[in-house]
Every structure is written in structure tokens, then in C-alpha cells.
Amino acid sequence: MSSAHTTLTIRNAALDLISEFPLTNVNDDNVYARWMNRNFQHVVQAALRQQPWNFACQWHTLTSVDPMTFRWTYAYDLPSGWLRVLQPTVGGIRGGQPIPYEVKQNRLYASYDAEQNVECVMDTQAPGSWDPLFAAMIVARLAHGMSNRFTAKSRYVEYTANLAAQAYEDAVEINTFEGSLEPTEEFTILRVRE
């Protein structure tokens, strides 16, 4: 599910939470627009890395680019715009048998296969592609970031902190339940106990 938000509507919703005047466009020449231009991308990227948000996850088939001689057998270039690599597994199945790996800079290293299927959280900056609950969380986090600087009112700092925490919990809960539950026999710890 996508949202009807734009970068401007997200920024204005954040300003609404701290009772400040809205922007007419993202390049307005005022302190709010300049703060948003400096901080918007960072706030979104940090939030994307926190959780494997369904709307931001993409599958990629990586092919080994360099033979390795130390520690790992294969090296793979990660796709442009990646922010996080989810645990690689045999066959690329979420919850499947984990494959040991390491991420350094823009490469993934492993010793399993020359071709590796991985799921990555991508840098999804377009608010129209976000889940509405993720959008609400970004609004609250931006408002919290601006609250002390622009309002100097402790009630806004506390209010936006609580709002951001609740928005995160709500978004994570819904995101978690959008998909089939993994069968319990998929979990290694349970297989070992049998």
C-alpha cells in the first residue's frame, strides 16, 4: 500500500505538529525549509535501516565479482541504493537456513555460492511509495527534531517524542503481520531440541 504523501506534505505535517507555519514548496527560503533540506534524507534513511519495511524490501540476485582468498570465498557488489542486507539464507527463503556473511562498504562476502539471492532494504525516499504508518512515523520524527530548536517549549519535545515512539510501534506491528507466519519447523533452535 502506498500513500498520497509528497515530500512537501510530509514536511508540512511535521510543522503542523509543532504549530508552525507550512511551507509553500521544499525550497522556501526560511529556517524550516533549510532545516528540512539538511535533515530529511538522514531521518528517512535511519528509519529505513531500523526495520525490514515491506515497502522498501527488494530481492536481488548477486553474482560474485572477485574470488576471495582470505576468510570468504565470494564477494558480491550490493545494488545501488541499498541500506541494509537481510540475513542471506539457502535459496533466499526468509527464515531459511542462514548463510554466514559479512557486509563491508558496498560488498557482501560469503562462502556459500557464486550466485546469491538476497533481500535488501532500499533507500526509498519517495513518500508516495511509503506505507502510511511509516509516513506518520517520519512526520513525528521530523517534528521531534524541530521541536526544541524552533519552539523552545518542552511540551512539544515530550509530545513529539511520545508520538514518534508510538508511531514506530504501530508501523512495526502492522509491517510484521503483513505476510505468512513462518512454520515453527523452519527455526533451527526448535529443530535442535527435537
The band of 153, judged by pLDDT with boundaries at 50, 70 and 90, is confident
pLDDT digits (tens, 9 = 90+) for 111-127: 988 888 999 999 999 99
* Contact yes or no for 78/62 (Cβ under 8 A): yes
Top-confidence residue, 70 or 146: 146
What separation in angstroms does the CA of 58 have from each of 11, 64, 118, 168? 26, 19, 8, 21
**Of the ranges 14-23, 86-95, 156-165, 174-183, which one carries the lowest mean pLDDT score?**
174-183
What pLDDT, on a 0 to 100 scale, did the predictor assign at position 174? 92
pLDDT digits (tens, 9 = 90+) for 22-61: 999 999 999 999 999 999 999 999 999 999 999 999 999 9
What pLDDT, on a 0 to 100 scale, did the predictor assign at position 114? 84
The band of 2, judged by pLDDT with boundaries at 50, 70 and 90, is low
* Contact yes or no for 72/114 (Cβ under 8 A): no
The band of 149, judged by pLDDT with boundaries at 50, 70 and 90, is confident
The band of 192, judged by pLDDT with boundaries at 50, 70 and 90, is low
As a whole-number percent, the residues of the chain with pLDDT over 90 amount to 73
* Contact yes or no for 94/119 (Cβ under 8 A): yes
Domain boundaries, the chain: 7-52+131-176, 54-123
- Smallest Cα–Cα separation from 151: which of 37, 45, 35, 38? 35
Q: What is the mean pLDDT of residues 61-77?
A: 87
